Each structure stands twice: as C-alpha cells, then as structure tokens.
Amino acid sequence: MKKILIAGGTGFVGGYLVSHLTKLGYEVHVLTRQSVAEPEENGTKFFKWDLDKSYIDLKAFEGVDTIINLTGENISAGRWTTKRRLELIESRMLSLNLLYEYVKHHAIAINKIISSSAVGYYGARTTDTIFSEDANSGSDFLADICKLWEKAARQFESLGIKTVILRKGIVLGKEGGMYAKLAPLARLGINVSVGDGKQYLPWIDIRDLGRLYEFILHQEDLRGVYNAVAPQHITMNDFAYSLLKSFDKTSFLPNVPAFMLKLLYGEMSTMLLQGSRVIDEKIKSMGFKFYYDTIDHSLERHGT
C-alpha cells in the first residue's frame, strides 16, 4: 500500500481519516505541531512541523505518494475579529505554502495532493440557486477564505502534481463537529434550529467522507474541484427535526432568534443563518456512490 502524509491529521476529520486509512492498510504519516513523544502509534507515524519556523521534518516525506491537507483553524470557534480573520486565512495558506516549498525545493516525488476547501466558496446566502463546481464564488469573508485556500493548493499543479480540492459541507459524525455540540441538547428535547430555519445545510457523513478520500486515492487520473456534500438538500429545520427524532424526542421550543446569534457572534453568525443548496453530481459522475445519502440514515445510529 502507498504511504500517505496527512497535514492536520489530529482533529475531528483527521483523526477519523487516519483510522480509516490505516484499517485499509495504508501507512500514514501525520504532521503535528506538538512534541513527538511517541513517534509511532498503531501503525501511524508522527512527524514535527512548525509553520512559524518554516520547518518540516524531511523524514515525513519518505516514501510518500500522496499528501492530504486538512489544515485550518476552526472557522466557527469565535467572533471574526481582525486578528481572528488573519489567523483563519494564514492557518490555511501558510501550511500549503510550506508544503509546496518543501516539495519543490527538495524535489519530492509526490503524485497527488488532496486539499480541503468548503462550500463557503459559494458565499453565505440562502437562494433558490443550486451550486455546482463551475458556479461563481461568493463575495463575503467565507468565500474569500476559500478562494485563497484553493489558490494555495493549486500551486502544486505547477509541479505536475495531480491536485484535487474538496469543497466540503458540514461534516457530521458522532465524535466531533456540529453533531457533538448539538446532540446533547437534542437528547434533552431542546430544539437546535436557528433563525428562521429555512437556510440550507450542505452536509456529508464522516463515514462517506472517509470513503470519498479512499475513492480518490484509487482513481489515478482524478483531479480538479469536487463538492463533498450528500445528495439530500436539507434545511436547518430539517436537521433539527431529524436530530431530535434520532433520540425519540420532539420539541415545541422556538428556534434560537437570529438577533441573539448576531449579538453573540457578530458577522460570524451569517454562516449559521444563511446557507445554499450545493450539488454533488460531478463526483457521482466519476463513479462515487454515497452510502449515507439521507440525514435520517446518517443520524439513525446515534439514537438512545
């Protein structure tokens, strides 16, 4: 099996993907900013890197065929202050820039890079439009981040490296992300919908996301931008209803008012209160099949 280098492999998605690929027989190298006390764990090898010092342990690249980039500060972790905006942008661009410089300078024979982006590329807006990969980008901060993120990833094309960019929806999984934050409330019968609840919520089950990375690794000539979203279009109200149902609960509580979110989170609230439909036909046309294709199927295992 090929060796894979994962940057950002210690978070929610990264942790799942490392486990998934290791079970498939891949040898996984993970870049970490923490001190490497245990350089190897369950077949996964950890290597130090430091963006501030522009440093990567060169041993991380030994035998590696593919790089998977998952880096980026959590976009919804707090208000978008001027400092926070810079952190969100730099955490995405600097990591890709450093990887690119190392691969170029040391002539590392990488065949493919799979990099992250988000459906925020299309902007935080609720419209009747259904966005495919060739749609124009939005004009807000989320869209600006994604455009810079993707531009940094496309540097690898100049080295002849096959470049795949995944515009991900909300990743749903039991161990983290949106589900981990909202499930405890739903388990108590609390309505988790916000605003008018009519905003669309592009999403993907983390198990399908793992399968999608597996699929891309097996497709030798696959490259370009792909929406990583489940086929079913749902609204925030739909999600809240299904989440409650997964715990055999119902709620008569109202949605959290939009003005409260705006007071708490400022401009960041737009990503919670707005959302568009995003289509997955391009990746399906390549032969990928979603298994968790409805929100009820995704959430059904979480019931008590």
Per-residue pLDDT tens digits for 228-287: 999 999 999 999 999 999 999 999 899 999 999 999 889 889 999 999 999 999 999 999
Can you give the pLDDT at residue 10? 83
Mean of pLDDT over the chain: 93
Give the residues across from 49 on adjacent strands: 56
Confidence band, pLDDT 50/70/90 cuts, at residue 38: low
Report H helices in the chain: 12-23, 82-105, 141-153, 177-187, 206-218, 236-246, 258-265, 270-273, 281-285, 295-299
Q: What's the half-sphere exposure (Cβ side, CA atoms, 13 Å) at 158?
A: 9
Confidence band, pLDDT 50/70/90 cuts, at residue 304: very low
Can you give the pLDDT at residue 2? 87
Q: Within its chain, how far is the Cα of 270 from the centroid?
A: 18
Q: Percent of the chain beyond pLDDT 90?
A: 85
* DSSP designation for 11: S
Whether 113 has a pLDDT exceeding 50, the answer reads yes
Can you give the pLDDT at residue 37? 56
* DSSP designation for 266: G
Cβ atoms of 46 and 30 closer than 8 Å: yes
Can you give the pLDDT at residue 188? 95
Confidence band, pLDDT 50/70/90 cuts, at residue 302: very low
Taking the model in full, what pTM does it have?
0.94
Confidence band, pLDDT 50/70/90 cuts, at residue 59: very high
Can you give the pLDDT at residue 303? 41
How, if at all, do strands 3-7 and 203-205 pair?
unpaired
Cβ neighbours of residue 113 under 8 Å, at least 6 residues apart? 66, 67, 68, 69, 99, 153, 156, 161, 162, 163, 164
Section 170-192 average pLDDT: 94
Can you give the pLDDT at residue 33? 86
What's the order of all strands across the beta sheet hosting 203-205? Answer: 176-176, 170-173, 203-205
Query: How far apart are alpha carbons 219 and 113 in whole angstroms?
Result: 12
Q: List the CATH code of the domain at 3-302.
A: 3.40.50.720
Structure tokens at 104: 């170029």
Can you give the pLDDT at residue 187? 95
